[in-house]
């Protein structure tokens, strides 16, 4: 039998822990899955799986064989990809994960445009507010917003994620506008569970301040923070990729624009530079071109805000000037 196919079946069974699930994914019968496993074990001369009516688990020999089978499959894919790059349209599937807010604001449209360019490709976009294990979750690409990436992973910077302290006009009318960072202590602040929950960190001219903040609402999802801020619930620290549209149309007002919150990196994270499928390489290059540059596209959009309101335009220009990398 086809040994590469047998390896693929073995890897799928090992990852899923089920012959039935593997049969469904690979579009074959459960009996055929068993035949491929038996063929692989006959070829290797060892049993690779313990199989009972309730569960499937790896033997010691199976554990050793699993990683090598994965490598063989990656190498086969790489050979096929390199050989086929010039003769066939990109095809296959990618599992991509990113934060909900970034998926909503930019990744969904980016993926749609990518698929329009490559109609034979497929993408599963998984939105989560946590960093997932790429191996366990079978993730090809994670777009993460962080300055800290696991040393075992490969990261390619796509853009800078800058943030803005802002509030709705209604809130500022009712509670006043902070003139210096320390004024935030007297305001209701809407915070993110993982970023700036207890303090806002800002820099100016090489000087860093950490301002303790308090408020009645905290959330683990930027969309909740944005909507609560738009509703006049308080002052928030929001990523510009998510707040730019509301800033452009005046629903949010940037505050303390002489100070810049901590800058994070938007990074494409994946397992290895070796044996990359053609589709993954194309996606990485596409995202780097779409989001890259001296100033991220959403920050460029803020800078291009209409000058119909001169005061607001001057404030927005100050923000985007501060965003240029040093």
Q: Which residues of the chain have pLDDT under 70?
A: 1, 80-88, 195-197, 274-275, 304-326
CB 59 within 8 A of CB 48: yes
Domains and CATH numbers, the chain: 3-84 (1.10.10.10), 92-160+265-292 (3.40.190.10), 163-262+304-322 (3.40.190.290)
* Residues 319, 323, 324, 326, Cα dihedral to 10°: 120
- Global pTM value: 0.67
- pLDDT per position as a tens digit, 155-166: 999 999 999 999
The pLDDT, as a whole number, for residue 111 is 97
pLDDT in tens, 141-198: 999 998 888 888 889 999 999 999 999 999 999 999 999 999 999 999 999 887 656 8
Q: Residue by residue, what is the 3-state secondary structure of the chain?
A: CCHHHHHHHHHHHHHHCCHHHHHHHCCCCHHHHHHHHHHHHHHHCCCCEEECCCCEEECHHHHHHHHHHHHHHHHHHHHHHHHHCCCCCCCEEEEEEECHHHHHHHHHHHHHHHHHHCCCEEEEEEECCCCCCCCCCCCCEEEEECCCCCCCCEEEEEEEECEEEEECHHHHHHHCCCCCHHHHHHCEEEEECCCCCCEEEEEECCEEEEEECECCCEECCHHHHHHHHHCCCCEEEEEHHHHHHHHHCCCCEECCCCCEECCEEEEEEECCCCCCCHHHHHHHHHHHHHHCCCCCHHHHHHHCCCCCCHHHHHHHHHHHHHCCCC
């Amino acid at each position: 039998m086809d040994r590469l196919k047998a390896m693929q079946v073995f890897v799928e069974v090992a990852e899923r822990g089920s012959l039935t699930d593997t049969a469904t994914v690979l579009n074959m019968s459960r009996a055929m899955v068993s035949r491929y496993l038996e063929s692989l074990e006959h070829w290797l001369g060892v049993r690779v799986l313990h199989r009972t009516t309730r569960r499937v688990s790896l033997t010691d020999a199976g554990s050793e064989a699993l990683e090598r089978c994965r490598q063989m499959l990656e190498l086969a894919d790489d050979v096929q990809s390199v050989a086929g790059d010039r003769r066939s349209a990109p095809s296959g599937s990618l599992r991509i994960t990113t934060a909900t807010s970034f998926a909503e604001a930019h990744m969904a449209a980016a993926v749609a445009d990518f698929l329009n360019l490559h109609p034979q490709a497929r993408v599963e976009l998984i939105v989560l507010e946590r960093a997932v294990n790429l191996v366990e979750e079978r993730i090809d690409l994670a777009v993460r917003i962080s300055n800290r990436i696991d040393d075992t992973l490969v990261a390619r910077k796509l853009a800078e994620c800058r943030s803005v302290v802002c509030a709705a006009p209604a809130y500022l009318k009712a509670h006043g506008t902070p003139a210096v960072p320390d004024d935030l202590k007297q305001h209701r602040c809407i915070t993110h569970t993982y970023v700036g929950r207890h303090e806002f960190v800002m820099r100016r001219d090489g000087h860093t301040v950490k301002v303790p903040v308090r408020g009645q609402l905290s959330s683990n999802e930027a969309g909740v923070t944005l909507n609560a801020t738009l509703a006049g619930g308080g002052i928030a620290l929001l990523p510009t990729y998510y707040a730019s549209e509301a800033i452009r149309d005046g629903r949010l007002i940037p505050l303390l624009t002489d100070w810049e919150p901590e800058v994070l990196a938007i990074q494409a994270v994946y397992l290895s530079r070796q044996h990359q499928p053609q589709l993954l390489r194309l996606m990485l290059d596409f995202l780097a071109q779409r989001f890259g540059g001296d100033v991220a596209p959403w920050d460029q959009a803020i800078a291009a805000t209409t000058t119909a309101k001169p005061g607001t335009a001057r404030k927005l220009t100050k923000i985007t000037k501060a965003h240029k990398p040093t």
